């Protein structure tokens, strides 16, 4: 992985255009050998980060292969310094002893201890609605904490919401905690489509990686389990359905690669914890939402194949309902489609697994803002991003209830 800190000058992000067969594979090999860091992969483009000292070499290699690129972020360090002024400079200096926490808000990005304390405080304030469950331990031994919001009605159906499966996507846990906060604090004013759900909310699925992005490498994507000289598994390639499909197009079997899928499905304690929690919960789940960044898209299965999933039209309609509510909030346009429609092959993803194996009919991955700043979304956009997404999620709950009644099976999907 390319290390990034404000002290590395001229680190840039390039948008590479993939015009010919073999271009994609070639760019991925550059990541494996550490020449670049892949930020985003789409059907005809990739975003890559290039360290300043390597820029001329990488540009020459791309030119030799007739792979065009444009500069998307001319100096990553400028954005990082701005972000660190807001968040990291405070947190690096702060000790982790109890009582030294920064209060939870949505004016800045927060460390794991602040997020966990926020969850615990919701339980203290709303014990009749909230409970916190440690669903497992990470590979480095950190708690994986989930918040459950429920009025205790046995007829409720389940909604799963997770964030920070990829730790560099800081806006993800910010949005997930905002959703939790708003649902809890306004529960009595919410429509039945919200209160008749058991909400299972996991703000930070990858706690080791998330902490690592605050202390060592802001652009870290994987978990922190060691494999010889290499570290980490892409947890969103480690689920069982479609695991390893499409070969190197859908994931990687190389531990040095940013998309490394792991030695086998559910090899990682973080994905195994999610699997165990969903399968053992005495809840009939109807909705699975996994929050990522960036790209402003709402994605549904499949990722491992270009074939449409059986409920393609229904999932498209549900995603479109969300996108309309998002647009009506702040005027942001989120595209809707399958993973293969909008991105590229991705094998062993959480939404393919939740849809196919656990039969959760409305399974979506939401790629949040932003298109300009990529992963380094300014803290000033946390609230506006969170409010538009909350409105999208609430609209989806209404959509689902219009298709499903009580504990009966849905009219359309499955």
Contact 204, 166 (CB under 8 A): no
Assess if residue 348 is contained within a domain. yes
Which structure tokens are listed for 297? Answer: 């898209």
Give the confidence band of 247 by pLDDT, cuts at 50, 70, 90.
low
Q: Evaluate if residue 87 carries a pLDDT over 60.
A: no
Same domain, residue pair 232 and 141: yes
Same domain, residue pair 120 and 40: no
Count of domains forming the chain: 2
Instruction: Spot the catalytic one: 367, 380, 381, 388.
Output: 367
Query: Mapping DSSP to helix (H, G, I), strand (E, B) and coil, where does residue 164 land?
Result: coil
Assess if residue 93 is contained within a domain. no
pTM for the whole structure: 0.89
Instruction: Express each pLDDT in 323-352 by its tens digit.
Output: 999 999 999 999 999 987 887 788 899 999
Instruction: Express each pLDDT in 221-236 by its tens digit.
Output: 999 999 999 999 999 9
Assess if residue 226 is contained within a domain. yes
Percent of the chain's residues with pLDDT above 90? 69
The mean-pLDDT minimum among 6-15, 25-34, 37-46, 113-122 falls in: 6-15
Same domain, residue pair 132 and 224: yes
Greater pLDDT, 413 or 139:
139
Same domain, residue pair 79 and 120: no
Q: Residue 12 pairs with which residues in a beta bridge?
A: 50
Same domain, residue pair 259 and 135: yes
Q: What is the pLDDT of residue 95?
A: 35
Task: State the Rg of the chain over Cα.
Answer: 20
In the annotation, is 380 catalytic?
Answer: no
Assess if residue 285 is contained within a domain. yes
Q: Evaluate if residue 408 carries a pLDDT over 50.
A: no
DSSP per position, 342-405: HS----S-HHHHHHHTS--SEEEEEEES-TTTTT---GGGHHHHHHHHHHHHHHHHHHHHHH--
Same domain, residue pair 197 and 252: yes
186-191: long-range contacts at Cβ-Cβ below 8 A with a sequence spacing of 24 or more? Answer: 187/126, 187/129, 187/149, 187/151, 190/394, 191/394, 191/397, 191/398
Which structure tokens are listed for 211? Answer: 């902490």
Same domain, residue pair 77 and 217: no
Assess if residue 105 is contained within a domain. no
Assess if residue 3 is contained within a domain. no
Give the closest residue to 277 by CA, choosing from 123, 118, 131, 121. 131
Q: Which residue has the tokens 């605050």?
A: 214
Give the confidence band of 6 by pLDDT, cuts at 50, 70, 90.
very low
Contact 72, 373 (CB under 8 A): no
Q: Is the peptide bond before 361 cis (omega within 30 degrees of 0)?
A: no
Same domain, residue pair 223 and 274: yes
Same domain, residue pair 186 and 65: no
Query: Mapping DSSP to helix (H, G, I), strand (E, B) and coil, where does residue 155 land?
Result: coil
The average pLDDT across 4-28 equals: 81
Same domain, residue pair 268 and 357: yes
Same domain, residue pair 220 and 79: no
Supply the range of the domain harboring residue 72: 12-84
Assess if residue 264 is contained within a domain. yes
Same domain, residue pair 352 and 296: yes
d(CA 135, CA 263): 22
Which structure tokens are listed for 387? Answer: 């409010």
The overall average pLDDT reported for the chain is 89
- Residue 78 maps to which CATH number? 3.30.70.340
- Residue 149 maps to which CATH number? 3.40.630.10
End of a domain among 67, 84, 101?
A: 84
Give the confidence band of 85 by pLDDT, cuts at 50, 70, 90.
low
- 68: which residues sit within 8 A by CB, 6+ positions away? 16, 17, 19, 62
């Amino acid at each position: 992985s390319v290390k990034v800190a404000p002290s590395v000058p001229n680190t840039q992000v390039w948008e590479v255009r993939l015009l010919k067969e073999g271009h994609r594979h070639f760019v991925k090999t550059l990541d494996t050998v550490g020449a670049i860091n892949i930020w985003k992969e789409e059907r005809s483009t990739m975003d890559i980060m290039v360290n300043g000292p390597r820029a001329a070499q990488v540009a020459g290699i791309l030119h030799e292969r007739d792979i065009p690129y444009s500069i998307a972020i001319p100096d990553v360090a400028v954005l990082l310094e701005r972000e660190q002024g807001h968040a990291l400079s405070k947190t690096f200096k702060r000790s982790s002893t109890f009582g030294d926490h920064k209060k939870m808000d949505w004016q800045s990005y927060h460390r794991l201890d602040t997020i966990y304390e926020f969850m615990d405080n919701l339980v203290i304030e709303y014990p009749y609605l909230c409970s916190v469950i440690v669903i497992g331990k990470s590979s480095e031994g950190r708690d994986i904490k989930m918040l459950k919001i429920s009025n205790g009605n046995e007829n409720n159906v389940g909604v799963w919401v997770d964030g920070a499966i990829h730790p560099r996507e800081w806006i993800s846990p910010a949005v997930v905690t905002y959703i939790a906060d708003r649902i809890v604090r306004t529960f009595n004013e919410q429509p039945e489509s919200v209160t008749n759900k058991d909400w299972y909310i996991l703000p930070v699925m990858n706690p080791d990686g998330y902490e690592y992005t605050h202390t060592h490498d802001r652009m870290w994507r994987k978990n922190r389990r060691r494999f010889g000289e290499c570290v980490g598994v892409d947890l969103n390639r480690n689920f069982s359905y479609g695991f390893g499909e499409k070969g190197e197009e859908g994931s990687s079997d190389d531990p040095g690669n940013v998309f490394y899928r792991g030695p086998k499905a559910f090899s990682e304690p973080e994905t195994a914890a999610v699997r165990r929690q969903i399968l053992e919960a005495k809840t009939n789940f109807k909705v699975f939402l996994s929050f990522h960044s960036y790209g402003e898209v709402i994605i549904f299965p499949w990722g491992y194949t270009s074939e449409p999933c059986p409920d393609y039209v229904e999932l498209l309609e549900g995603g479109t309902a969300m996108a309309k509510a998002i647009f009506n909030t702040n005027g942001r346009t989120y595209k809707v489609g399958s993973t293969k429609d909008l991105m590229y092959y991705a094998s062993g993803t959480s939404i393919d697994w939740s849809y196919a194996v656990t039969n959760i009919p409305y399974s979506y991955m939401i790629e949040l803002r932003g298109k300009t700043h990529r992963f380094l979304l300014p803290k000033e956009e946390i609230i506006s991003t969170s409010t538009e997404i909350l409105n999208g999620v609430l609209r989806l709950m209404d959509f689902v209830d219009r298709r499903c009644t009580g504990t009966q099976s849905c009219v359309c999907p499955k």
